Structure 1
Amino acid sequence: MITRRTLMASGLASSLALAACGPDKPADTGGAVRIRFATDWRAQAEQGGFYQAVARGFYADKGLDVSLIQGGPSVNVPQLLAANAIEMGLGSNAPIVLSMVQAGAKAKAVMASFQKDPQVLITHPRADITSLADMKGKPIMLADASITAFWPWLKAKYGFTDDQVRKYTFNAAPFLADPKAIQQGYVTSEPYTLKTQGKIDPQVFLLADSGYPGYAAMTLVSDSFRAAHPEAVRGFVEATIAGWKDYLRGDPAPGDGLITKDNPDMTPDLLAQAREKLLSYGIVETAEGAIGTMTMDRWKAFFDVMAAAKVYPADLDWASGIDLSFLPKPT
């Protein structure tokens, strides 16, 4: 579970998923528009809004026949979109969208389920670290994909340097063995694992709460499907927003039931703690941004950091990977 973000960002081959989905064209089924939606990892609470929308019939109410396809280490959502094996998919983090633009992918992000990227840095309880700024000059365990994701922002904001980087292998043992260790994580995952398995109460620093501008969990849509079925895309966005509201504000049992059916490894405790983190950290809904919201100003702020770090060329047409027209109008 804890390796999902890095595996997705690394662009692993998706041959298994391609074989399972098939590259056939979308079709109307009994009057409903079929949408195959590939998630970014195995079923979990971080996808609860989508599962809730299926379970509660919100997609069906919009005339959509939505199939959720579990992600995993062999599933690369941008590649599936390029192969027309799916109509829509989940992009884990903001760099995925920019990388799609750079690669010339014919797809766009139309909403962001996560207003805050759930990426965190984690330490043992220690008096000398009370903020991200206090980590300057200290070794930090990072996965390879993070070097071109949130690391450039940390370097620009806090003066972190590359000589601080240590290899993160998604093994908790090095962190647990070293009380001075710092590692990356996902707010809904690693802190819970360290607390239950390592019997420690780690300090958790959500990058978004210190200004990291990247969105996460973006809904990606192929250009061909978007052009052919704009009302279906709009209906999907509206139903997904309704699904997230219902999952977080109401009874999550319908969505959780489908999640555990797809992924029996998801225990009630795992689901409950992840949902609680989504709520308590304001991952899905914040005071500044309603569910699904994206703005070009914030995307530009993210791109500017990445371009300054030379992760992407300064002349990249980043805005071509984003379409805000399907989002509900602010009230």
Structure 2
Amino acid sequence: MSLLLRALTAVIALALALPAARAQMLDKVSFGTNWVAEAEHGGFFQAVVDGTYKAYGLDVTIVPGGPNVNNRALLLAGKLDFFMSANTLQSFDAVANNVPVVAIAAMFQKDPQVLLAHPESKVAKLEDLKPLTLFVSKEGVASYFQWLKSEYGFSEDKIKPYTFNAQPFLADRKSAMQGYVTSEPYLVEKQAGFKPTVVLLADYGFNTYSTLIETRRDLTENKPDLVQRFVDGSVTGWYNYLYGDNKAANAMIKKLNPEMTDDLLNYSVLTMKENGIVDSGDSLKDGIGAMTDARMASFFDKMVRAGVVKRDVDFKKAYTLRFVNKGVGLNLRPKN
């Protein structure tokens, strides 16, 4: 074989080997959500389908949660690398119970928690809900309702158990029901044919972060570059999901959750944008995922006053600002 032919053969072999080598260079990462696939998780699916995570050197597998799935336990057991926690209270609880996890980014600047009322109740503000029967879940009573009691004087005497069934609310026009702004108002309108009055608790001072990325503390210490790439990729995914072409991400969500519809997905995305659920407040200057010490301290104080969290909890251990507030993805937000 001539020198030229050998050289050409070597070049061809190298070219063929490069894609495989690049694939092997991707760090495999697993991310567990806390519920079945839905638009509220859309930015993560977006980063998978549009190649964003790969651009950050990651091969990400999303593991959906559900009623019989405990992905947080899998995170603690080392079976998952990252987990999507519901709100800051879970982070405070982790510190209180010496669970070695830490919140590294907050995808939602506002918690989507709402109370829905019938139009006949003529509810115009949060306080107008006080005379109504309130359908609240056990978890809700232990968390946000304690804040409603301490900050606004609500009474537990008005509470009836919420079992994630809208029928009791629909049957009682002098009642209100908990829900998420991104889903329950849509479902009530579809089911009952009327637009409920929607009160978003975040607009009245319930300033927990929501949809946080959580990981084990040892991962932030031993593989900070990996953690940073996952945060940056997720942030970029959320910008692209909200403001770009999200059809492929929605297709992935529908494949994983056949009960999901295009109408609900579109409603959820529009509602997240209209209410600033993902992109508002500090994220406008620091980027999606933003967190601040002041906001964490403010929410902690409210939860202490409400008796939900003990004052001696070192809440600053619940989170780190090391991986956020870097302005990642700000160029992807529409200018107008």
Work out the CA distance in 2 between the residues paired with 1:207 and 1:91: 19
Question: Once the 2 structures are TM-superposed, how far is the Cα of residue 279 of structure 1 from its aligned partner?
Answer: 0.9
Of 311, 314, 322, 2:311 maps to 314
One-letter identity of the residue aligned with 2:295: R
**Mapped pair 1:132 → 2:126:** yes
2:292 corresponds to which residue?
Answer: 295
| Alignment match of 1:262 (pick from 243, 256, 260) | 256
- Structure 2 CA distance for aligned equivalents of residues 229 and 61 of structure 1: 18
Amino acid corresponding to residue 327 of structure 1 in structure 2? V
1:276 CA displacement: 1.0
Secondary structure of the corresponding residue to residue 282 of structure 1: coil
SS of the equivalent of 1:30 reads: helix
Match of 2:119, SS state, is coil
Q: Equivalents in 2 of 1:244, 1:85: separation in Å? A: 25
Q: Out of 146, 153, 166, which is 1:152 matched to? A: 146
**Residue type at the aligned position of 1:73:** P
Say if 2:121 and 2:173, in contact at 8 Å, map to a contact too.
no
Q: Which shows bigger deviation, 219-228 or 86-95?
A: 219-228
Q: List structure 1 segments (4+ residues) > 6 angstroms apart after TM superposition.
A: none
Shift of 1:68: 0.2
1:305 is matched with which residue?
302
Contact 2:121 2:174 in 1 (8 A): no
Measure the CA separation in 2 of the matches of 1:235 and 1:136: 46
Measure, in 1, the Cα distance between the counterparts of 2:250 and 2:192.
27
2:322 maps to what in 1?
Answer: 325
Pair 1:104–1:78, CA change in 2 (3 A): farther
2:140 pairs with 1:143: no
Q: How does 1:36-185 map to 2 (within 5 A)?
A: 36-126=30-120, 128-185=122-179
Q: Select which of 198, 202, 206 maps to 2:196.
A: 202
Partner SS state of residue 109, structure 1: strand
The count of aligned residue pairs is 304
Q: 2-side partners of 1:307 and 1:80: how far apart?
A: 29
1:288, 1:139 → 2: CA distance? 35
1:143 deviation in Å?
0.1
Residues of 1 paired with 2:161 and 2:318: CA distance?
Answer: 31
Query: d(CA) in 2 for partners of 1:176 and 1:271?
Result: 23
- Determine if contact 2:282/2:290 at 8 Å carries over to the other structure: no
Larger proportion of helix:
2
How far the C-alpha of 1:256 sits from its partner, in A, is 0.8
Alpha-carbon distance in 2 for matches of 1:42, 1:59: 21
- Aligned-residue Cα RMSD (Å) equals 1.6
* 1:242-281 to 2 correspondences below 5 Å: 242-281=236-275
Structure 1 gap ranges (5+)? 1-27
> Match of 1:16?
none
TM-score by length of 2: 0.87
Cα distance per residue 1:154-177 (max 9 Å; x no partner)? 112211122122111111111111
One-letter code aligned to 1:71: G
Cα deviation for residue 254 of structure 1 reads 1.8
Q: CA offset at residue 54 of structure 1?
A: 0.5
The answer as to whether partners of 2:75 and 2:83 remain within 8 angstroms in 1 is: yes
Question: What secondary structure sits across from 1:126 in the alignment?
Answer: helix
Query: Are positions 1:235 and 2:215 aligned together?
Result: no
Shift of 1:127: 5.2
Q: Quote the offset at 1:307 in angstroms.
A: 1.4
> Aligned partner of 1:39: which letter?
T
TM-score of the superposition, structure 1-length normalised? Answer: 0.88
- Is the CA contact (8 Å cut-off) linking 1:77 and 1:91 kept in structure 2? no
Partner Cα distance (1:94, 1:241) in 2? 18
Does 1:31 pair with 2:25? yes
CA contact (8 A) 2:109 2:281 kept: no
Cα distance per residue 1:6-62 (max 9 Å; x no partner): xxxxxxxxxxxxxxxxxxxxxx97122211100011111000000000011111111
Whether contact under 8 Å (2:104, 2:214) holds in the other structure is: yes
Q: Give the number of the structure whose alpha-carbon radius of gyration is greater.
A: 2
**Distance (whole Å) between structure 2 residues aligned to residue 47 and residue 287 of structure 1:** 20
- Pick closer, same or farther for the CA change 1:287–1:214 going to 2, 3 Å: closer
- SS in structure 1 of the partner of residue 120 of structure 2: coil
Query: 1:196 deviation in Å?
Result: 0.2
